[in-house]
């Protein structure tokens, strides 16, 4: 027969408390890890140089096409002022 003594009830309460607080601690550790991973990912994305480079364009006065100002080359027409 199952006898319920005070010692068994206290032991059961201690086991339940240990399991309960263990799960809470594991959840807290996982939340901290997730937060740290997100922070690292955010810092990495902030420190990376952007892939797209912005350049000024210059309009050809003859044909109206736009070319990069740093590498302005002739458009192919004989009277092109660029290049």
Distance CA 80, CA 32 (A): 63
- Which residues, other chains included, contact 22 with Cβ-Cβ below 8 Å and sequence gap of 6+? none
Per-residue model confidence (pLDDT) at position 19: 98
List the pLDDT tens digit at each of the 83 positions of the chain: 477 899 999 999 999 999 999 999 999 999 999 999 999 988 887 766 666 677 788 777 777 778 777 766 666 677 776 65
- Which residues, other chains included, contact 49 with Cβ-Cβ below 8 Å and sequence gap of 6+? none
Per-residue model confidence (pLDDT) at position 67: 77
pTM above 0.85, yes or no: no
In degrees and rounded to multiples of 5, residue 14 shows phi and psi of -65, -45
């Amino acid at each position: 027969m199952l006898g319920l003594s005070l010692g068994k009830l206290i032991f059961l309460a201690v086991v339940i408390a240990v399991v309960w607080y263990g799960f809470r601690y594991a959840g807290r550790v996982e939340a901290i890890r997730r937060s740290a991973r997100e922070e690292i990912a955010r810092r990495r994305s902030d420190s990376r140089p952007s892939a797209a480079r912005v350049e000024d364009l210059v309009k050809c006065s003859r044909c109206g096409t736009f070319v990069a100002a740093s590498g302005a080359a002739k458009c192919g027409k004989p009277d092109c002022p660029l290049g």
